[in-house]
Chain A
Amino acid sequence: GDSVTQMEGPVTLSEEAFLTINCTYTATGYPSLFWYVQYPGEGLQLLLKATKADDKGSNKGFEATYRKETTSFHLEKGSVQVSDSAVYFCALSPAGTASKLTFGTGTRLQVTL
C-alpha cells in the first residue's frame, strides 16, 4: 500500500537558517504530493502541493519539488522565522481523485532567536 516516510524530529534551527525536511514515498503510479502544517493549537493547513513529476509547489517561502526518480518531496525554506515553528506533515493521495490522504508521522520544527 501507499506510505510516506519523513525525517524524525524535532528539528531545531536558529532564525534565518536554511530548512530541509526530507520526505519519501511509496505509491503506484503518479500520486499527488502535499505538505501540511499544523501550528500549535490549530488544525492542519495545506502548505503546498504538486500533482506531477518535476512540479514545484511553493508557498510562504517554502518549496518542494516532486522527484519521481527518487520518490521524494523534500520541503525547503531558505530562511526560517520563529513563526514557522510547527509540525509539518508530508502526504500523498492517488492521482486524479479527491481520495484519502496518506500522511507521514510529522516533523516538529522549532525555530529559536
Chain B
Amino acid sequence: GAGVSQSPRYKVAKRGQDVALRCDPISGHVSLFWYQQALGQGPEFLTYFQNEAQLDKSGLPSDRFFAERPEGSVSTLKIQRTQQEDSAVYLCASSSRGRLGGYTFGSGTRLTVV
C-alpha cells in the first residue's frame, strides 16, 4: 500500500484482557519496528524485524508482550493480560533496508486499558 496501515485505530480493553494490534507495512519494506508512545512522551522502541526475523526485542517491557511477522509482511503485536500501564499509542514503522532515515510511521493504535 501507499503507507503503513495500523488497526484498530482505537482499542479499549478491560484489565486482564488480551489484545492484538496489527501493522501492514509498505509493500517491499524489509524492516519493521514497533514503538510505544505514552501520553506526552516520545516513542520508545519495542522490537524490530528484518523480514520475518525478530532481530531485536530488547524494548518489550515484559513477557506479556509478544510480536510476530510470520511471512515478512504483516506484523501483529500481542499484549496478554493487559494492565493499566499498557495504555499508550502503539506505533508501527517500516523502512527499506539500508535506506537511512526512511522510516514511515503508521497513525498508531491508541490502547486504553480500563
0/1 interface trace, chain B 35-71, chain A, CB 8 Å (1 if under): 1000011111100100000001001000000000000
For A98, give its contact among B43, B44, B91, B97 (CB under 8 Å). B97
Set of chain A residues within 8 Å of B108, measured between Cβ atoms: 43
Residue A34 lies at the interface, judged by CB distance under 8 Å to chain B: yes
Residue B102 lies at the interface, judged by CB distance under 8 Å to chain A: yes
Q: How far is the CB of B101 from chain A (nearest CB, A)?
A: 4
How many A-B contacts if CB must be within 8 Å? 63
Residue B25 lies at the interface, judged by CB distance under 8 Å to chain A: no
- B96, A98: Cβ atoms under 8 Å? yes
Set of chain A residues within 8 Å of B95, measured between Cβ atoms: 98
Q: How far is the CB of B3 from chain A (nearest CB, A)?
A: 9
Binds B, one of A11-19, A44-52, A61-69: A44-52
- B91, A46: Cβ atoms under 8 Å? no
**A residues near B, CB below 8 A?**
4, 32, 34, 36, 42-46, 49, 51, 89, 91, 93, 96, 98-106
**B residues near A, CB below 8 A?**
4, 31, 33, 35, 40-45, 48, 56, 59, 91, 93, 95-108
15 contacts between A and B (CB under 8 A): A43-B91, A43-B105, A43-B107, A46-B102, A49-B101, A51-B101, A91-B42, A98-B96, A98-B103, A99-B48, A100-B59, A101-B103, A102-B45, A103-B42, A106-B41
